[in-house]
């Protein structure tokens, strides 16, 4: 682990290609507490803080309270979480489809073997 001059930490993980977020919604809320706090004042509950009217987060960025780079980092992490979630759902749907396909094949075999087809 290396501490960089800008305060960031660089971690060298031999043999590990990447580190993924997993389910880190709570961690993002803690790391970006100023964005979460500002978001509570947004006009819409499902505000994405990108271009909606009445977005308190965008107003805070415009007023210089929240740095634009900070919001960009927040968007990158929330986009990654959403991607991981979609990827997981697709995998679960595929497993479920394969499971039901096997059940259908087994039922067909059973009916054929008992002459009920």
Q: Cβ(39)–Cβ(49) under 8 Å? A: yes
Domain span at 75: 24-85
In a domain, 51, yes or no: yes
Between 17 and 115, the more confident residue is 115
In a domain, 93, yes or no: no
Tell me the pLDDT band of 21, cut-offs 50, 70 and 90. low
CATH number, domain of 35, equals 1.10.40.50
pLDDT at residue number 14: 81
- The total number of structural domains in the chain stands at 1
Cβ contacts of 79 within 8 Å, gap of 6 or more: none
Residue 92 lies in a domain: no
DSSP labels, 6-17: TS-EE---TT--
Q: Give 107's pLDDT tier (boundaries 50, 70, 90).
A: very high
What's the CA gap between 76 and 87, in Å, rounded?
16
Across the range 67-75, mean pLDDT stands at: 96
Domain-located, residue 81 = yes
């Amino acid at each position: 682990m290396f501490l960089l001059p800008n305060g960031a930490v660089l971690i060298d993980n031999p043999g590990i290609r990447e580190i993924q977020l997993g389910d880190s919604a709570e961690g993002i809320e803690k790391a970006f507490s100023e964005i979460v706090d500002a978001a509570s004042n947004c006009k819409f509950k499902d505000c994405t803080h990108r271009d909606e009217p009445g977005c308190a987060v965008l107003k805070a960025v415009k007023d210089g309270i929240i740095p634009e780079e900070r919001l960009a980092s927040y968007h990158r992490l929330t986009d990654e979480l959403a991607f991981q979630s979609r990827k997981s759902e697709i995998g679960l749907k595929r497993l479920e489809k394969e499971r039901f396909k096997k059940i259908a094949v087994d039922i067909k075999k059973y009916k054929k073997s008992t002459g009920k087809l």
